[in-house]
Structure 1
Amino acid sequence: MSSDFKVGSFVTRRIHQLVGADPGRMSPNSKALLAQLRQAAAAEPGTAPAVWAVTLEGIPADLPRGYRERAEQAVHIALTQFAVHQQSRSRNMHDPKQPFGRAVRRLADISNKAEPHESPVYRRFTAMSTASTLPGLLAHSRGLITQLRTHEIAFDYGRYAEDLYWFLAPSGARDVHRRWGRDFHYLQTESNEGVSE
């Protein structure tokens, strides 16, 4: 088994391949791939052939089936949401220094400077952070990604992909929810190691 495979590193590499050092100077091919990823955002992972080369190629074939399926889902969601986030933005919306929860806190602060915990952003974030199913999580994350894009608030899509992977693991959702909550409140968190368990 490819125990050294990490979903977050895979997604980070893909983003670098797509946008390069300067998203304002992306190649026509990269722009086309990002457009295809945006179109595939609502599709089930693995059902959009136009993006297979980006979302599936390079995930080791010898991963156990459950691990591989979770990895494929996490990669698909993270990359398609990144493509939505990056649309028409001249700077990279992937920021390896800012976790998802912290980015949402910045958005909540903008939304309601007096009390971010009373903002609609916080309500959507808490709904996302208590979702027990992937469709429930995605229903809220899509709206947050759109708002983050509007305010050009970037976050770490590699770490986000790892979070999605662990959310899909048996009994993993609670740890992911907890980590997002800590990040929102600026507490230190530990990152997960990868696909191997």
Structure 2
Amino acid sequence: MTSDMTAAIGRYVNGKIIALQRGFLAENPAARATLARLRADIDGRGTNWMDIGNDLYGDWPTESLGDPGRNPRAVAAVSTALGLYALHQQSKTTPVAQTDTQETRSISFGAACRRIVADTGAPMDDDAAKGVVRRLSAAESAPTFDGVVWFLRALIMLMRASKRNISLDYRQFAQDLYLLQIPEYADQVFQRWSCDFYYRPAPNKTARQAR
């Protein structure tokens, strides 16, 4: 049941973000207005549900996500993922949401955090990494989901400010946001993010030899 729910959340968020990203990059006024509303929701001032209600519930897939009034974890995961995407995309001229996970490896939140301080596969600068690790650790220790989101928001802002073009698989991120609200799954999410942040795969010898 949990796997079905996370998959449905990922599909719903990914579809919305692909449409918003396409509209934003094409300078569509409606898409930009939607992103502004979602960004205001995640900026720490609290949610104005009447502003973002239609963005969330107007086409809510009841057949896969159920009644939103009875699934607050799904609502929180969707609204948070959309708000953080809106914050991440703000003022950027390149897409920040990964849209093609079939041909490239999914960029998890942990992998995206690594990109704040190091290129993929490169050793990290320990001093530069300390601030990122501190925020990830604080998110893991936060006693509430709102507390977790506070530190994830800070990390998204670092991604936005980076000179690197840091993208993120928001489909997977939305699924993780749902699982973070379930105590028995939250530890698995942080374990995966930790692996993706610290682990450097060995060079592909076969590919290197083929050159």
- 1:58 Cα offset (Å): 3.0
Q: 72-81 vs 118-127, which deviates more?
A: 118-127
Residue matched to 1:171: 184
AA paired with 1:143? A
> RMSD value over aligned CA atoms?
2.8
Residue matched to 2:196: 183
Residue matched to 1:122: 133
Q: 11-20 vs 115-124, which deviates more?
A: 115-124
Which stretches of structure 1, 4 residues or more, deviate above 4 A after TM superposition?
Answer: 64-67
In 2: Cα distance, 1:105 partner to 1:49 partner: 36
User: 1:11-41 deviations in whole A, cap 9, x for unaligned?
Assistant: 1100111121x74323111011111111111
User: 1:56-77 deviations in whole A, cap 9, x for unaligned?
Assistant: 2333446277972111000000
Q: Which has the higher helix share?
A: 2
TM-score, normalised on structure 2? 0.75
In 2: Cα distance, 1:126 partner to 1:35 partner: 29
CA contact (8 A) 1:124 1:140 kept: yes
User: 1:105-161 deviations in whole A, cap 9, x for unaligned?
Assistant: 111337x94326852112112222333421221221111111100114121111111
Residue matched to 1:98: 107
AA paired with 2:83? T
CA contact (8 A) 2:21 2:97 kept: no
AA paired with 1:103? A
- Equivalent residues in 2 for 1:34-183 (5 A)? 34-41=35-42, 42=44, 47-61=48-62, 63=66, 68-95=71-98, 96=101, 97-109=106-118, 113-115=124-126, 118-151=129-162, 152-183=165-196
In 2: Cα distance, 1:69 partner to 1:87 partner: 27
**Count of residue correspondences:** 184
**% identical aligned pairs:** 30
Structure 1 residues 93 and 65, CA gap change in structure 2 (3 angstroms): closer
Structure 1 residues 12 and 65, CA gap change in structure 2 (3 angstroms): closer
In 2: Cα distance, 1:155 partner to 1:121 partner: 16
Structure 1 residues 66 and 187, CA gap change in structure 2 (3 angstroms): farther
Task: Give the match's secondary structure for 1:119.
Answer: helix
In 1: Cα distance, 2:52 partner to 2:67 partner: 23
CA contact (8 A) 1:74 1:164 kept: yes
Residue matched to 1:193: none
Structure 1 residues 173 and 67, CA gap change in structure 2 (3 angstroms): farther
Task: Give the match's secondary structure for 2:137.
Answer: helix
Unaligned runs of 5+ in 1: 189-197
TM-score, normalised on structure 1? 0.80
Unaligned runs of 5+ in 2: 202-211
